[in-house]
Amino acid sequence: MALLCTIDHQKQAVADLMQEWYLFNDEIEQQQKYATLDLSQFATPEALLVSLLYRPNRFDRNFSFITTPEVDQRFFGSGQFVGFGFGSKFADSPMDTDLRLTQIIEGSPAASAGLARGQQILTVNGRTIAEIVQAEGLSDALGPDDTGVVR
């Protein structure tokens, strides 16, 4: 049985997912976008997503994106995570001091600790992110990228 995967279905899926899961849905500006949303005005799901981003120059800087099932499977397919079970990204590049969580892996130590997407990491072991980046870099501070590494 073939799945319906037309551009219109893809745009509807993007709209539905954004309205259900987007971090900034509590913002009035974001609610207004949904209230006036006309999917026919967008040629692609990507164009729709870009229009729905909340203040992308300040808040949602490359945190939200569209991927393919193949890329997603390659990234998450093994069912294992390394480290603490979160993805992160610097929101203020090139300054590299505003470290934000981009995803939390279900069942990971990060999830068990109550961490959530969008939260900012201020310190690691009592040291600021700026201190860590300047000294040895974030990768060294968080530990090796090996399955089963815990702290």
Query: How many domains are there within the chain?
Result: 2
Report the CATH number at residue 104.
2.30.42.10
Range of lowest pLDDT (13-22, 48-57, 74-83, 133-142):
74-83
Q: Looking at the predicted structure, is the pLDDT value of residue 145 above 90?
A: no
Residue 71 lies in a domain: no
Structural domain boundaries, residue 38: 1-66
pLDDT for 2: 47
Q: Would residue 126 count as lying in a domain?
A: yes
- 1 pLDDT more than 60: no
In a domain, 151, yes or no: no
User: Which of 3-7, 110-114, 133-137, 139-143 tops mean pLDDT?
Assistant: 110-114
Relative to beta strand 99-104, strand 120-121 is antiparallel
Mean pLDDT of 121-128: 91
Comparison of pLDDT for 26 and 151, the residue scoring more? 26
DSSP secondary-structure letter at 107? T
Please check whether residue 72 lies inside any domain of the structure. no
Does a structural domain hold residue 39? yes
The rounded distance, in Å, linking the Cα atoms of 89 and 41 is: 31
Mean pLDDT computed over 49-56 = 91
* Residue 149: inside a domain: no
| Continuous H helices in the chain | 7-21, 28-35, 45-52, 69-76, 109-112, 129-135, 138-142
